[in-house]
């Protein structure tokens, strides 16, 4: 999907999201370089670069890349940002760590696309290198109900933005369609509504394990939190780590 129109809303919603940063920062401590796929506006890549990591971010959306580059320049961070598709990229080098944070893998909608991306990831990992990603557990709320989930944002000019969502789940295709109604009221009471749709393909644990094993990954670990808690019915996240076999295997 084209993420450009969603970029301003994404920035409002997740600019201060930090739940995953410690997890990826810890992994990056032992890696000489890191490749982030679906790097967005730079939330994770910038954090790792601030901590001294050498990071390359791959992002499909030109608008998101523009924002990430602006942030990196403002902080004088050495961050390589590349426009590309995780299904067919070739950076002509390998990395000890490849990360796909914050549901980015869920923008691959078919088994063919998922397989292509995993093959590209595998090819860009050093022998013995690690892949890490996180996805949300598919526990959905009421479908077909317009709801406000507590997302209200205030601008210095006095305007207020409220975000409402309407969700539809296709359980045969394992697709979640989330419609966003973004209402902004200015200081004079004038209301404008923006409308966006987010498409995501959700996964089950054993489906993920099979995909990773079929690609050649080993030492697969799937946790239910960024702190390593077991995955169970109360988990909000699936946090995945897998390794490309070393050359001596």
Q: 23: closest CA among 187, 236, 240, 249?
A: 240
Q: Top-level CATH class of 147-201?
A: mainly beta
pLDDT at 30 > cutoff 90: no
pLDDT of res. 249 = 47
Q: pLDDT, tens digit, for every residue of 76-113?
A: 999 999 999 999 999 999 999 999 999 999 999 999 99
Query: How far lies 45's CA from each of 2, 124, 173, 187, in Å?
Result: 21, 18, 31, 36
Task: Enumerate the β-bridge partners of residue 218.
Answer: 243
Q: Alpha carbon of 128 to those of 92, 94, 115, 163, 178: distances in Å?
A: 18, 11, 20, 43, 38
Percentage of residues in the chain having pLDDT higher than 70: 99
Would you say residue 2 has pLDDT above 80? yes
Domains in the chain: boundaries: 4-138+202-243, 147-201
Give the DSSP H/E element, type plus range, for residue 198.
strand 191-201
Longest Cα pair distance anywhere in the chain, in angstroms?
69
Q: Is the pLDDT of residue 42 over 70?
A: yes
Q: Which residue has the higher pLDDT, 50 or 156?
A: 50
Which region among 28-32, 79-83, 222-226, 245-249 has the lowest average model confidence (pLDDT)?
245-249
Tell me the C-alpha to C-alpha distance, in Å, between residue 13 and each of 6, 188, 203: 11, 24, 23
Mean pLDDT of 234-245: 97
In order, the DSSP letters of 35-65 are EEES-TTSHHHHHHHHTT--EEEEES-HHHH
CATH architecture entry for 4-138+202-243: 3-Layer(aba) Sandwich (3.40)
Span 40-49, average pLDDT: 98
Nearest to 47 by CA among 30, 29, 61: 29
| Cα separation of the two ends of the chain | 39
Cα–Cα distance list, 56 to 48, 77, 83, 187, 216 (Å): 10, 12, 11, 42, 24
* Model confidence at 178: pLDDT above 90: yes
C-alpha span between 206 and 239 (Å, rounded): 13
Over 90: is that where the pLDDT of 187 sits? no
Q: Is the pLDDT of residue 200 over 70?
A: yes
């Amino acid at each position: 999907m084209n993420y450009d129109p969603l970029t301003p809303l994404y920035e409002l919603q997740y600019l201060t999201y930090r739940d995953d940063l410690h997890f990826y920062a810890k992994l990056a401590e032992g890696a000489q370089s890191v490749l982030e796929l679906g790097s967005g506006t730079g939330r994770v890549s910038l954090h790792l670069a601030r901590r001294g990591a050498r990071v390359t971010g791959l992002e499909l959306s030109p608008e998101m890349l523009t924002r990430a580059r602006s942030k990196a320049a403002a902080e004088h961070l050495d961050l390589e940002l590349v426009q590309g598709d995780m299904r067919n990229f070739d950076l002509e080098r390998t990395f000890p760590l490849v990360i796909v944070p914050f549901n980015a893998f869920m923008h691959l909608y078919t088994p063919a696309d998922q397989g292509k991306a995993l093959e590209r990831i595998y090819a860009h990992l050093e022998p013995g290198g690690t892949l890490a990603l996180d996805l949300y557990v598919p526990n959905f709320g009421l479908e077909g109900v317009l709801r406000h989930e507590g997302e209200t944002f205030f601008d210095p000019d006095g305007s207020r933005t409220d975000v409402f969502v309407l969700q539809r789940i296709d359980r045969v295709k394992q697709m979640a369609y989330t419609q966003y109604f973004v209402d902004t009221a200015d200081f004079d009471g004038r209301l404008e509504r923006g409308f966006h749709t987010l498409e995501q393909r959700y996964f089950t644990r054993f489906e993920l394990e099979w995909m990773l094993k079929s690609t050649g990954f080993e030492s697969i670990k799937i946790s239910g939190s960024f702190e390593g808690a077991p995955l169970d019915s109360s988990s909000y996240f699936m946090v995945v780590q897998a390794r490309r076999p070393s050359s001596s295997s």
